[in-house]
Amino acid sequence: MASWRPFEAMLNLICIGERPKLIKNPSTGEYVLWFHADSSNYSLAKVGICYANKVTGPYTCPENGVFSPLGMESRDMNVYVDTYNNNQGYLLFATNGNADVGIAKMTSDYKNLTSLVRTIASRLEGFGVFRDDAGLYNMVVSNQSGWQPNANSLYTTPNLGTQVPTYSNYIANNAYNTYNSQKTFEISPNDNLEVYLGDRWWETDLQQSSYVWYPLVNRQLVHAPLWKPDASNARGYSVPMVILKQPSLHVQPALQAKSQPTVSTPSGAAGNVWISIYYSNQDSYPDSRFGTVSVNGASAQNVTYPIGGSPSGVLQVTPVKVQLSAGSGNKLTFGARGEDSAADISHVIVWQSDQ
């Protein structure tokens, strides 16, 4: 997606539209967009659909395109197309005052619903479904805690169309709050890999919210700072980059404005490369910390340190892309922003790659 470019606005809605999900109908060739439709005070609690012959539109939003699914309220939602079962479409949605989860079958054109499969009597959201090699349908979900991250879990069922999914396991140590994220979707870039897409919400400034993408292997997240899908690898992903440097900073307490530790990189190629900064920010949600990094005395660029990470456990990691010169001795200087403290930095990994 680094090379994607903006096209144009798809829709001009008269209501709030959230969680947009676009699916292509293999029979009609149409692109059908489902979304959570709501009012400014979140009392509407419906779904909306629009459709187009091309992915770029124009999209038609019918007058009855905002509706209560099967007469039920709908809040957080997702869709799933079962390519193993005649491309049956499903809507998964929080309902009944957010107390339950509804799973409903779509019509063959994906523009409406036919029946309710089951409800799960749990306060869940952030749904995402995939089918594994054993034929089980896996549904990754989040608990409901507002914008604050929590421990996401996984439910399974042998038949999504007839049997209610049941709890299986947490997808990460529940003390880590899914590495400060909430499930939003999943993708399968190759036959060996499922990828967890998570929202990293910033409650006080939602436009600054970001995403995390992690491999999901054997129903557990792989907390990998930098990786790429790789169909030739049995795991479905690889980390092909060469680590240039992993210096230990051990800055305690947190970085201050007058404390600017510097580390040097060994010999490497010039260019834009990623660095992974491992740190701990044990402030309360949603208090991110902010710092800077500069290379060889050049202008500093900003670094955001969301909450998370423990000096005695799993550290949080944030990626930053920097410009290195050829050869050895690049100086990375870390600092705080303004008078505030930055995070407690443990170490830095510099990756020899511009990908």
Model pLDDT for residues 174-193, shown as the tens digit of each residue:
888 999 899 999 999 999 99
pLDDT at 246: 45
Reported as a pLDDT band with limits 50, 70 and 90, residue 39 is very high
Q: By residue range, what is the domain housing residue 190? A: 122-237
How many structural domains comprise the chain? 2
CB 280 within 8 A of CB 346: yes
| Domain co-membership, 348 together with 306 | yes
Domain match, 289 and 211 both: no
* Residues 247, 175 share a domain: no
Which of 221, 237, 253 terminates a domain? The answer is: 237
Residue 152 has pLDDT above 50, yes or no: yes
Residues 261 and 221 in one domain: no
Radius of gyration of the chain (CA): 22
> Looking at the predicted structure, is the pLDDT value of residue 136 above 90?
yes
Percent of the chain with pLDDT over 90: 54
182 & 163 share domain:
yes
191 and 281 assigned to the same domain: no
Q: What is the pLDDT confidence band of residue 268, given thresholds at 50, 70 and 90?
A: low
Domain boundary among 215, 237, 259: 237
Whether 298 shows a pLDDT value over 70: the answer reads yes
- Residue 258 pLDDT: 47
Residue 347 lies in a domain: yes
- The pLDDT value given to residue 324: 83
Tokens 């790659």 found at: 353
Residue 1 lies in a domain: no
Percentage of the chain lying above the pLDDT 70 cut: 89
- Give a yes or no: residue 51 inside a domain: no
In a shared domain, residues 233 and 247: no
Q: Which residue bears the tokens 């834009």?
A: 272
Q: What is the DSSP string of 40-85?
A: TTS---EEEEEEESSTT-PPB--TT-EE-GGG----SEEEEEETTT
Q: Please check whether residue 24 lies inside any domain of the structure.
A: no
Same domain, 228 and 262: no
Please state, in angstroms and rounded to a whole number, the distance separating the CA atoms of residues 342 and 321.
18
* 291 lies in the same domain as 211: no
CATH number at residue 154: 2.115.10.20
Asked if residue 49 has pLDDT above 50, the reply is yes
In this predicted model, which residue has the larger pLDDT, 54 or 208? 54
What is the arithmetic mean of pLDDT over 214-237? Answer: 91
CATH number at residue 256: 2.60.120.260
Residue 249 pLDDT class (50, 70, 90 cuts):
very low
**168/251 same-domain check:** no
Residue 320 maps to a domain: yes
Q: First-to-last CA distance in the chain?
A: 11
Of the pLDDT bands very low, low, confident and very high (cuts 50, 70, 90), residue 244 is: very low
Task: Quote the distance between the C-alpha of residue 340 and its chain's center.
Answer: 28
Q: Are residues 342 and 325 in the same domain?
A: yes
What is the Cα–Cα distance from 211 to 152, expressed in whole angstroms? 15
Could you tell me the pLDDT band of residue 315, with boundaries at 50, 70 and 90? confident
Q: Is residue 188 part of a domain?
A: yes
Q: Is residue 66 part of a domain?
A: no
Q: How confident is the model at residue 135 (pLDDT cuts 50, 70, 90)?
A: very high
Are 221 and 159 part of one and the same domain?
Answer: yes
Q: Which of 185, 208, 237 is the last residue of a domain?
A: 237
Q: For residue 2, is it within any domain?
A: no
